[in-house]
Amino acid sequence: MKLFSVESPLFKFFDRLWDLIKLNFFWLLCSLPVVTIGASTAAAFSITLHMADDTEGYIVKPFFKAFKANLKKGIPLGIIFAVCIYAMYIYVQIILNAEKYEGILLAAGIIFAVMFYCAFVYTFALLARYDNSIFGTVVNSVKISVRYFGRTALLAVLIALEVCLFIWNNVLIAIGALIAPVCVMLTISGFALKIFKEIEKQPGAVSNPEALEEEKDSVEE
């Protein structure tokens, strides 16, 4: 029956779902040492960027190859990311326990959250696709966020909706444990890939970043 053929939408859906489950598992596995979460996330983005472009093949071997390639920059970047997350957590606790100046503290917290979002929303996708310094990668994420502010704001809304969906009830929490992180990465990758391709078409930009060894970033510092 056509419904069960390898070209059917149903087969493609379950095939993609299985790929997401596998990718999520290996992302979690390689993130367990905690300090390697940056490299693991960059490796996962290297796969989800291909998924967004419908060019993915095998999951396991390319993931571990990307994980190894991103260890040097991914570890410090992951640590910076974790420190920022912890700082945001501490700041939220300060706001919740503040007896005065709550409005000022809240406004400052929102500004900090927006800056954090802009600095990291495209960072791991950039790290997965281009060769650049850690500082240059973060700066480029901010530049892209500002330049494509409308899309970046829409992306924030979609991410928030996905998070809310996966914590809606116990069933969705269980499903989220299997695919939620990589689903968020895939959503980011869809937006990021379209932006990257637009930038790569500009004069002087890189036409095939994955074929280059050095100086692969199309968003110049």
Would you say residue 101 lies in a domain? no
Angle at the Cα of 16 (from 13 to 18), degrees rounded to 5? Answer: 110
**What is the rounded average pLDDT of the residues 144-148?**
95
- As a whole number of angstroms, the distance between CA 85 and CA 89 comes to 6
- Find out whether 143 and 152 touch, Cβ atoms under 8 Å: no
pLDDT of residue 4: 53
Q: What is the pTM of this model?
A: 0.84
Is residue 80 predicted with pLDDT exceeding 50?
yes
The proportion of the chain whose per-residue pLDDT surpasses 70, expressed as a percent, equals 87
d(CA 162, CA 134): 28
128: helix, coil or strand? helix
**Does 36 map to a domain?**
yes
In a domain, 97, yes or no: no
The residue-averaged pLDDT of 73-77 equals: 93
Q: What pLDDT shows up at residue 7? A: 62
pLDDT bracket for residue 140 (50, 70, 90): very high
Range of the domain at 17: 2-79+110-211
**220 lies in a domain?**
no
Which letter, b or e, does each residue of 80-93 get, where b requires 16 or more Cβ atoms within 10 Å of its Cβ? bbeeeeeeeeebee
Query: Is position 141 within any domain?
Result: yes
Say if residue 139's pLDDT is above 70.
Answer: yes
Give domain status of residue 21, yes or no: yes
Contact 81, 120 (CB under 8 A): yes
Domain count, the chain: 1
Residue 163 corresponds to which tokens in the numbers above? 């998070």
Task: Look over the chain and give the mean of its residue pLDDT values, rounded to a whole number.
Answer: 85
Is 218 a member of any domain?
no
Kindly state whether residue 99 falls inside one of the protein's structural domains: no
**Whole-number Å distance between alpha carbons of 134 and 114:** 20
pLDDT in tens, 92-130: 888 888 777 777 888 888 898 999 999 999 999 999 999
Confidence band (pLDDT; 50, 70, 90) for 218? very low
